[in-house]
Amino acid sequence: MEKRCEILCSGVVQGVGMRPFVYRIAVKNNLVGYVLNLGDAGVKIVVEGEERNIRKFMRELREKKPPLARFEKIKVKWGRACGEFKTFTIEKSSDERVLESSYIPPDVAICDNCIRDMLNPDDRHYRYAFTCCADCGPRYTSIMGLPYDRELTTMRNFPLCPYCMEEYANPMDRRYHAQGICCPLCGPKITLHARGGEPISCMDPIAEAAKLINEGAIVAVKGIGGSHLVALTTDDECVLKLRQRKRDRKYKPFAVMSLSLDEVRKYAEVSQREEEVLTSFRRPIVLLRKKDDFPLSEWISPGLHNIGVMLPYSGLHILLLQEVVDPAVIMTSGNISGKPIAASNEEIITQLSSLADYFLLHNRVIYQRCDDSVVKVVDGKTKLIRRSRGYVPEPIETRIPYKGSGILAVGSELTVTVAVMKRNKCYVSQHIGDVSGDLDMVEFHESVVIHLLKLLNVKPEAIACDLHPRFVTTRIAEEYAERWQVPVVRVQHHHAHATALKAEHNINEPIVCIASDGVGYGPDGTIWGGEILLSDYSSSERLGHLAPQIMPGGDQATKYPMRMAASILSRILSNSELREILTSRYIDGFKYGEREVEFVLKMTREARGPITTSTGRVLDAIAALLRICMEKTYQGEPAMRLEAAAARGKPTIKIEPKVYRSNGQYVLDTSQILFEVLQASEKERVENLAASAQHAVAIGLADIAVNVAQDEGVKFVGFTGGVAYNEAITRTIREYVKGSGLVFIEHSVTPPGDAGVSIGQVITAACRLLS
């Protein structure tokens, strides 16, 4: 007897060939009925036919789905066949919504099949930069609303030509119901423009742009989620020209893009895991170790042992790189310092006119700007530095039994993302950046919030933010709370870090967490950043930390780390001893010479300035003492240069970390570590001393964490915060914790740095609402 089966799939990724796949297996199993997208990104299937055929269909639905397709739950309702269908069809999408959250697709790198089409002279997609299919192409950056249909994407401006329509309507074609498909006849066009925006007439704008790059020009290229500034990598003059124009990029590293892995291997080491990440459909920037005989300009990533590399993720990139002579090109975000990445043609021409010589543009609208993701592989484990294009807006699944209407978290202050909690899933936005003062960045933040809430159909019942009362994001949270008449949930910075890590591992018991970074506002009003927390989802308790130190001049001690070094050493050396050392050996670390030295000594003696327990400031101070970095020109620079030097050395110098108890808490004496570094600095190799100093800090942190775990009867010890990107420090802590018989946990799905703070904020808020 024939049966009817209604299937609701939730937790579906739309836009990756799900409906065509359902169509094909339904026809193959002699079933009739329909499939359609629902308004929340779910999929509804109705089939009629022999029961055995339906059951076979359902097995294939689970086992043979497209590589990028996924779904979390299938709800099945059986009944008698009504005989209302004659064939199986793909129906027009519905506004109907299922109860469970579903997935919105991320942008997917161009697939091998489309690359073959694009490079085949006999194919109508030959050398067409926007070639794509159901398995690849822009998704999140082009979606204006759900369900995922062409008329709700920026491709609605490009009606399909008869040839594309034939592919779109052919169930056996891989472009069947692919919403982004197009060809030279009906799709977006590429144009080349001079600095003033005037069009440059040429047969092949991409080839002409490549020619200009080869001649040393800087070209702004509009891509999938924004724009890039593109230039040669082997010409020092060209790289320095870009640095001079960017102004804020005195030493900050540039990312590069190569056509193939073979080209990458000419200048960087690539492990098996790094190769897997580089070639994945996400195509992030991956930090790779430079080869000893590095053939690119040292000005690409000066003073560092690694370089950020990505492979092409669009047809435009491939066609451009085929014409470029260098093994890689600079591919850095197209934006003015402190501004969002330029995405519209008008923004690119007006905002980047002082940076680029030419502009390679197209007329497809970028609905959501989305920067490249950045990944570092640490001991074979993936660490997300920036979770953006290729990942967003895939949710992070948790075991939190939250069933409210939704929660919004607005993030921290730097490296900001926002997050939305919907049931047990956390949806994290693309990289937003620093929202501490620029109005355009605040507006970008708001546009991301509005878009994410709209796509997820969420009306928040609470707004989560940082504990810092003066953060711009705190003010934003308060404004949202007043507008929507909902409460604000304030979450301490390092507790948010710990929560994100704990949730990633689905742990339902307390953990001891080492939270190490540059800055986070503490409940006591001081600057935290080297904390050992006993942490649960709703709350945390500080049971250990680095020794509190004065920051002479506040932020100036961050910009000029010799100030921090002087403050830390002042706890051991007398004023006269310290003055002699600073003026005779480190005077170039003080912008105003001896006058500034006296000012710093006076401030430390009088204990004037913010108090910090930041690991970042300690690492900065070590970098300055070893003359590795005397001035910070970008976020994290001194510690990154210290890590680069340490990577060329070994921890052969014994520096014994000293831990003492104060007010019932464990404290690591960082002054003693710096004093021993100072004593050894004139007789030991800098690289070995850098490695040894890092090792001492790591052992001290790990020792406190193990003691706290043993005191509290906790078996999990985690490591989070920006310092968790440091490979040597992470490895040392991991080995120490595991060697003590405890379980070590670290990030691989959520970012350890501030890009992950919104995740911790929103999960903590959900748990507090549940309690």
Q: What one-character-per-residue DSSP string does 148-202 give?
A: --GGGBGGGGSPPPHHHHHHHH-TTSTTTT-TT---TTTS--EEEEETTS-EE--
pLDDT tens-digit series, residues 232-248: 999 999 999 999 998 87
Please state the rounded mean pLDDT for residues 331-360: 96
Q: Which backbone phi and psi does 56 adopt, to 5 degrees?
A: -65, -40
pLDDT tens-digit series, residues 553-564: 999 999 999 999
Contacts of 63 (CB under 8 A, 6+ apart): none
Q: Which tokens in the block code for residue 522?
A: 């503490």
Confidence check: pLDDT of 95 > 90: no
pLDDT score of 619:
98
Confidence check: pLDDT of 147 > 90: no
Confidence check: pLDDT of 16 > 70: no
pLDDT score of 4:
94
Name the band, by pLDDT with cuts 50, 70 and 90, for residue 638: very high
Whole-angstrom distance, CA of residue 36 vs CA of residue 492: 44
pLDDT score of 97:
59
| Beta carbons of 558 and 632 less than 8 angstroms apart | yes
Name the band, by pLDDT with cuts 50, 70 and 90, for residue 18: confident
pLDDT score of 73:
76
Instruction: Give percent of the chain above pLDDT 70.
Output: 97
Per residue, the 3-state secondary structure of 87-126, as one string, reads CEEECCCCCCCCCCCCECCCCECCCHHHHHHHCCCCCCCC
pTM: 0.93
Instruction: Give percent of the chain above pLDDT 90.
Output: 88
Confidence check: pLDDT of 166 > 90: yes
Please state the rounded mean pLDDT for residues 575-580: 96
Name the band, by pLDDT with cuts 50, 70 and 90, for residue 105: confident
pLDDT score of 658:
98
pLDDT tens-digit series, residues 698-748: 999 999 999 999 999 999 999 999 999 999 999 999 999 999 999 999 999
> What 3-state class would DSSP assign to 147?
coil
Q: Which backbone phi and psi does 73 adopt, to 5 degrees?
A: -135, 145
Whole-angstrom distance, CA of residue 624 vs CA of residue 749: 33
pLDDT tens-digit series, residues 392-423: 999 999 999 999 999 999 999 999 999 999 99
Rounded to 5 degrees, what angle do the CA atoms 607, 627, 728 make?
90
CA distances to 30, 33, 94, 657 from 6, in Å: 16, 10, 15, 65
Beta-sheet strands, E only, within 506-627: 511-521, 527-535, 540-546, 549-550, 611-612
CA distances to 213, 325, 351, 365, 693 from 239, in Å: 12, 15, 20, 30, 33
Confidence check: pLDDT of 757 > 90: yes
Ranking 171-180, 540-549, 674-683 by mean pLDDT, the lowest is: 171-180
Ranking 63-77, 135-149, 641-655 by mean pLDDT, the lowest is: 63-77
pLDDT score of 67:
65
Name the band, by pLDDT with cuts 50, 70 and 90, for residue 13: low
Beta-sheet strands, E only, within 590-695: 611-612, 659-662, 665-668
pLDDT score of 99:
46
pLDDT score of 98:
53
Whole-angstrom distance, CA of residue 596 vs CA of residue 301: 31
Residue indicated by tokens 């008008």: 346
Please state the rounded mean pLDDT for residues 624-636: 97
pLDDT tens-digit series, residues 23-51: 989 999 999 999 988 766 678 999 999 99
Ranking 37-46, 108-117, 219-228, 316-325 by mean pLDDT, the lowest is: 37-46
Q: What one-character-per-residue DSSP string does 243-297 give?
A: HHHHSS-SSPPPPEE-SSHHHHTTTB---HHHHHHHTSTT--EEEEEBPTT--S-
Q: Which tokens in the block code for residue 610?
A: 């913010």
Residue indicated by tokens 């919104």: 758
Q: What residues are paired with 661 via a beta bridge?
A: 666
pLDDT score of 15:
58
pLDDT tens-digit series, residues 111-122: 999 999 999 999
Name the band, by pLDDT with cuts 50, 70 and 90, for residue 448: very high
Beta-sheet strands, E only, within 411-460: 419-422, 425-428
Confidence check: pLDDT of 509 > 80: yes
pLDDT score of 593:
96
pLDDT tens-digit series, residues 587-624: 999 999 999 999 999 999 999 999 999 999 999 999 99
pLDDT score of 172:
82
